[in-house]
A = this chain, B = another copy of it.
Amino acid sequence: MQLNILKIGGNVLDKPEDLESFLNKFSSIDGPKILIHGGGKIATNIAKKLGVKTTMVEGRRITDEAMRDVVTMVYGGLVNKQIVAKLQSKNCNSIGLTGADAKVILASKRPVTTTDYGFVGDIETVNHVFIKTLLDQKITPVFAPLTFDMTGNMLNTNADTQAAAIAVAMANHFEVNLIYCFEKKGVLIDINNENSVIENLNQDLYKKLKTDGVINEGMIPKLDNAFNAIMSGVRQVIICDANNVIEVIKSKKGGTTITQN
C-alpha cells in the first residue's frame, strides 16, 4: 500500500493564503498520508518580541533554553495546531505530534564539538508501529519539527531530516513516497532559471553537480536527506513546488525525482 509523506517549509507557512491553498490540496490526497512542517519566520519574529536572540550558524538555528521554549510554543503549539484545526475543517482527520508524543521520535541532544547547537536533536528511533496504528484509524499525523530525549528535554530538529527519518521508518509498512515541497519547481541547474529543473537526479549526477558548484548551497542538506531516504527503502523521493504537489502525486509529472542510480 502507498503512503504519501509531504514536507512543507517556511515559504508555505509564512503566507496564510499559500498555506490554505496547500492544505486544500493536501486534504484531497487519497489514502494514508503524513505531513511534516517546518517553522518559518514566525518563530524568529516571536522570539524577537520576547527578547530572545536568534543565532544562526551555517543556516542552522542555535537553540538555547529560551529559544527551545520559543520553538516548542511556536512549532509545537501555534503552527501545528493551526494546521490540524484547518485540516479538520477540510474533512482530513489529523493529529498534531511532536517526537515526545507517544515517544514517536526519540533523539539525542547533539554533542558539543566546535559549535554548541544547544537543544538540537539527532534522531535515533521512529516509533513506526504507533504511527501505523493512527494511519490504520484513517488519522493523518502532522509533525512539528521537534523531538525529545529520555531526560525530559524537548529538542529542536531539522524538518527535512525528520521527514526523511519518518519516511524510512514507515517503509517497514508501506510503499513510501516522500515529497519535499518548497518554493521552486524542483532542483534547478541554473538558480536564476525556474525552468531549468533537473527531472531525474541520481547519486553520480549529484556528486558531479556538487563538485562543479552547480547545486545551490542551501539545497545540499535537503538533497543529502533525500538520498539517505532513497538509499534506505523509501520508494520515491521528489522535490517540487508546493503548488504542484497534486500533479506530482497523480500524474508523476513535475519536480525532481531522486533516484539511486
Q: How far is the CA of A82 from the CA of B80 in the complex (A)?
A: 15
Q: Most chain-B CB neighbours within 10 Å: which of A77, A80, A130, A151?
A: A77
Residues in chain B near residue A164, CB distance under 8 A: none
Confirm or deny: A32 has a beta carbon within 8 angstroms of a beta carbon on chain B: no
A213 within 8 A of B: no
Which residues of A95-110 have CB atoms within 8 Å of chain B's CB atoms?
A: 95-98, 100-103
The main secondary structure of chain A at its interface with chain B is helix
Q: Among B77, B146, B151, which residue has its beta carbon within 8 angstroms of that of A72? A: B77
7 further A-B pairs in the complex, CB-CB below 8 A; given A73-B78, A74-B77, A84-B98: A69-B78, A76-B80, A77-B78, A89-B150, A95-B101, A96-B100, A133-B137
Choice from B46, B72, B85 contacting A82 with Cβ under 8 Å = B72
Report the separation of the CA atoms of residues A78 and B67 in the bound assembly, to the nearest whole angstrom: 11
Given contacts A96-B101, A139-B102, contact A78 B88 (CB under 8 A): no
Contacts of A75 in B (CB 8 A): 77
Which residues of A does B touch, CB under 8 Å? 46, 49-51, 69, 72-78, 80-82, 84-86, 88-90, 93-98, 100-103, 130, 133-134, 137, 139, 146, 148, 150-154
Whether A85 touches B73, Cβ cut-off 8 Å, given contacts A49-B49, A51-B49, A137-B133, is: no
The contact of A137 among B49, B130, B150, by CB within 8 Å, is B130
Point out the residues of chain B lying under 8 angstroms from A46, CB to CB. 50, 73
Tell me, rounded to whole Å, the shortest Cβ–Cβ distance linking A195 to chain B: 36
A98 / chain B contacts, CB cutoff of 8 Å: 81, 84, 96
Task: Tell me whether A85 and B50 are in contact (CB under 8 A).
Answer: no
Q: What separation, in Å, do the CA atoms of A130 and B138 have in the docked complex? A: 12
> Which among B77, B89, B153, B154 is the interface contact of A76 at CB below 8 angstroms?
B77
Closest 4 CB pairs of A and B: A77-B77, A89-B152, A73-B77, A73-B73
Query: Hey, which chain B residues are within 8 Å of A78, CB to CB?
Result: 69, 72-73, 76-77
**Residues of B contacting A89 in the complex (Cβ-Cβ under 8 angstroms):** 150-152
Provide the bound-state CA to CA distance between A80 and B73, in Å. Answer: 9
- Kindly state the separation between the CA atoms of A103 and B88 in the bound complex, as whole angstroms: 7
Q: Does the CB pair B82–A154 fall under 8 Å?
A: yes
Q: Which residues of B contact A84 (CB under 8 A)?
A: 98, 100-101, 148
